[in-house]
A and B are shown apart, each in its own frame.
Chain A
């Protein structure tokens, strides 16, 4: 009897070592200028994340899911997409979404609970961050399927965490994508924790990427804090999808440096030793800075200038978010449930407005 068992480790592909030296080949389209652009976006995203947490502490922002530590995984992956590709993110993809074109004030308005933030810019085929874990992976499958049926170039990419790989929807999505050979990329940021549960409790397999084998799909495991490796993996998967090669599962091994959300205290569950190592030696921004510095493309003055520019943009975004007009509540509540208001919603809207005029709604 032949039995099958996967007993190999899946080493994470790395191009740039944590000390900033190259251990692999740089993709041809990543020159210093492009890497500086990545670096500036990563710095901007980190500052944005820190500012958002501060705003939350000051009571100026609602629940926010920080992504610090995952900037390389997000920016490196979104950078390989084309502007009209389909993007189905989870709620922790704000760095990637900002890079892709989401105005930063919209990301803040999302955490302020403003309904307008669900309406992505018209030029982007991007959905707002999904709350239900892994639900969006199937939507990406459907959008990719539509592209394939219509013979379009457009592919779909979906982003999720390690926890999502335990959900049924994730497995159904991989299976559908594989059976129909769809142009979709499944991008998992394995950030080590699903709220408090470590990845060792999430799965007995050695890597998320190896799950691709069960679906006869290409799986890639990359060092998620190496922006170059992430970009190279995503580039390969996106190109394969676009040229009819079918789906890919990418696992970017990374680390969530902060809490799950502003409502969580990670000191209750994380390993302080590992935490220190991730922060001190494996930070994605530090790694790229060391590389750029050795190339002569980074110095203290440039850093100061980029930080200042980032802070100015963020200050503007905060200003825009805080001065954004209050929602038109009647519209936000009643006008987007169906294409046309039903008679019941018509009645409810009328009585809501009447109560509003009497000052009876809050």
Chain B
């Protein structure tokens, strides 16, 4: 066990993957000499060589498209898209190519590919760096999507993604990269893809969050506890495939739910979470389910982003509303 920040845990996971499997290689912009703009690959090129930690030309479609070819040919590429906001540049290669190779070849060829991308607000980036775009990929059959909220999950999910036979997007909340440290095992371990986690047990309200909103949900739950309301925080960890079972089990117990995400509200993953609750726990519901999300606008500039992002106060207000309903 070593105390690690999320970025250190991610770096450790990539190093382990490179060490354990000669088929693994890292490719992306600035991942080599510079060690990644967030230092996720710090020191790895020095350690594993420039053939395994590769600075590519600045071309997102080129990165993912060539990684698809590498994966078809039996390699295990870990591609980095520098910021999730840039992923539209390679949307075809992800959604129409990587996601469909297994299907269109009826299993003859597969794409065991990992695409890492930092995302999320609160770090004062220029425009188009902070958007939360997970809903696009929940809506893309053939892809898996994981979104860790802490160092332990970040390492375990990344190593699970490397071992997965299908393309996995690992979306890393950059606000949490250095927010705190926690004990993280040193060696190889995985956190299973497709399993949510109860981040805080409770009995009155289920608060569903993932990635950067998990700390927000936990803070709101702490405040709610002071008011005598017991919140159960479900950290989805995986967006696709969605762990409907854990959601339904929790809401069957609490009868109330608040869903918190940074992405824009309409068509967000929150809507699918609501559908899961409706399908599985409708008769347990004691109140309409609330959503606390970003607004239906482009991600705003830094001077106003804090006024746009879901806050623990907004979550607490939603918890109060579902309790009063």
- Does B166 make an interface contact (CB < 8 A)? yes
Q: Which of A93-117 contact B (CB under 8 A)?
A: 115-116
Q: Which residues of A have CB within 8 Å of B242?
A: 344
- Inter-chain contact A138/B109, CB cutoff 8 Å: no
- Does B96 make an interface contact (CB < 8 A)? yes
For A165-184 the 0/1 string (1 means CB < 8 A from B) is 00011001101100100000
Known: A139-B68, A139-B69. A119 touches B108 (CB 8 A): yes
- Inter-chain contact B25/A139, CB cutoff 8 Å: no
- Inter-chain contact A336/B66, CB cutoff 8 Å: no
- Does A11 make an interface contact (CB < 8 A)? no
Q: Which of B7-63 contact A (CB under 8 A)?
A: 25, 51, 56-57, 59, 61-62
CB distance from A100 to the nearest CB of B (A): 16
- A172 partner, pick from B57, B101, B105, beta carbons under 8 A: B57
- Does A274 make an interface contact (CB < 8 A)? no
- Inter-chain contact B97/A132, CB cutoff 8 Å: yes
C-alpha spacing A336/B166, complex, angstroms: 10
C-alpha spacing A144/B68, complex, angstroms: 12
- Does A357 make an interface contact (CB < 8 A)? no
Q: Which residues of A have CB within 8 Å of B104?
A: 118, 128
Known: A135-B97, A332-B106, A338-B166. A127 touches B72 (CB 8 A): yes
- Does B122 make an interface contact (CB < 8 A)? no
Q: Considering the complex, give the chain A residue whose CB is closest to the CB of B67.
A: A142
- Does B245 make an interface contact (CB < 8 A)? yes
Q: Considering the complex, give the chain B residue whose CB is closest to the CB of A122.
A: B108
Q: Which residues of A have CB within 8 Å of B241?
A: 342-344
Q: Which residues of A have CB within 8 Å of B244?
A: 343-344
Q: Which residues of B have CB within 8 Å of A169?
A: 61-62, 65, 92-93
- Inter-chain contact A138/B142, CB cutoff 8 Å: no
- Does A53 make an interface contact (CB < 8 A)? no
C-alpha spacing A268/B70, complex, angstroms: 42
- Inter-chain contact A138/B65, CB cutoff 8 Å: yes
- Does B302 make an interface contact (CB < 8 A)? no
For A333-354 the 0/1 string (1 means CB < 8 A from B) is 0011111001110000000000
Q: Considering the complex, give the chain A residue whose CB is closest to the CB of B55.
A: A179
Q: Which of B65, B109, B242 has the most CB of A within 10 A?
A: B65
Q: Which residues of B have CB within 8 Å of A144?
A: 69
- Does A86 make an interface contact (CB < 8 A)? yes
For A70-98 the 0/1 string (1 means CB < 8 A from B) is 00000000000000001010000000000
C-alpha spacing A321/B12, complex, angstroms: 52
- Inter-chain contact A146/B107, CB cutoff 8 Å: no
- Inter-chain contact A338/B57, CB cutoff 8 Å: no
Q: Considering the complex, give the chain A residue whose CB is closest to the CB of B107.
A: A336
- Inter-chain contact B69/A132, CB cutoff 8 Å: no
Known: A132-B92, A149-B75. A140 touches B144 (CB 8 A): no
Q: Which residues of A have CB within 8 Å of B59?
A: 168, 172, 175-176
- Inter-chain contact B103/A337, CB cutoff 8 Å: yes
- Inter-chain contact A127/B109, CB cutoff 8 Å: yes
Q: Which residues of A have CB within 8 Å of B75?
A: 142, 145-146, 149
Q: Which of A122, A142, A335, A344 has the most CB of B within 10 A?
A: A142
Range of interface residues on chain A? 35 or more
- Does A212 make an interface contact (CB < 8 A)? no
Q: Considering the complex, give the chain A residue whose CB is closest to the CB of B241.
A: A342
Q: Which residues of B have CB within 8 Å of A143?
A: 69-70, 72-73
- Inter-chain contact B102/A147, CB cutoff 8 Å: no
- Inter-chain contact B61/A138, CB cutoff 8 Å: yes
- Inter-chain contact B96/A142, CB cutoff 8 Å: no
C-alpha spacing A338/B105, complex, angstroms: 12
- Inter-chain contact A339/B69, CB cutoff 8 Å: no
- Does B110 make an interface contact (CB < 8 A)? yes
- Does A314 make an interface contact (CB < 8 A)? no
- Inter-chain contact A338/B93, CB cutoff 8 Å: no
- Inter-chain contact B69/A142, CB cutoff 8 Å: yes
- Does B288 make an interface contact (CB < 8 A)? no
Q: Which residues of A have CB within 8 Å of B72?
A: 127, 139, 142-143
C-alpha spacing A146/B241, complex, angstroms: 29
Q: Which residues of B have CB within 8 Å of A141?
A: 62, 65-66, 69
- Does B74 make an interface contact (CB < 8 A)? yes
- Inter-chain contact B106/A138, CB cutoff 8 Å: no
C-alpha spacing A335/B61, complex, angstroms: 28
Q: Which of A141, A338, A339 has the most CB of B within 10 A?
A: A338
CB distance from B127 to the nearest CB of A (A): 22
Q: Considering the complex, give the chain A residue whose CB is closest to the CB of B52.
A: A149
- Does A120 make an interface contact (CB < 8 A)? yes
C-alpha spacing A127/B110, complex, angstroms: 11
Besides the known contacts A120-B105, A145-B70, A336-B103, 20 further A-B residue pairs in the complex with CB atoms under 8 A apart: A118-B106, A127-B109, A139-B65, A139-B66, A141-B66, A142-B65, A142-B66, A143-B73, A145-B66, A147-B73, A169-B93, A172-B65, A173-B65, A176-B57, A338-B144, A339-B110, A339-B166, A342-B241, A343-B245, A344-B241
Residues of A within 8 A of B (CB): 86, 88, 115-116, 118-120, 122, 127-128, 132, 135, 137-147, 149, 156, 168-169, 172-173, 175-176, 179, 332, 335-339, 342-344
A-B contact pairs, 29 of them (CB 8 A): A86-B73, A115-B106, A118-B105, A122-B108, A127-B101, A127-B105, A132-B97, A135-B93, A138-B66, A138-B68, A138-B69, A139-B72, A141-B69, A142-B67, A142-B68, A142-B77, A145-B73, A147-B73, A169-B62, A169-B65, A169-B93, A173-B65, A175-B57, A176-B56, A179-B56, A336-B102, A337-B141, A338-B142, A339-B164
Considering the complex of A and B, which 6 residue pairs feature the smallest CB-CB distances, nearest first? A142-B69, A138-B65, A172-B62, A146-B73, A342-B241, A339-B165
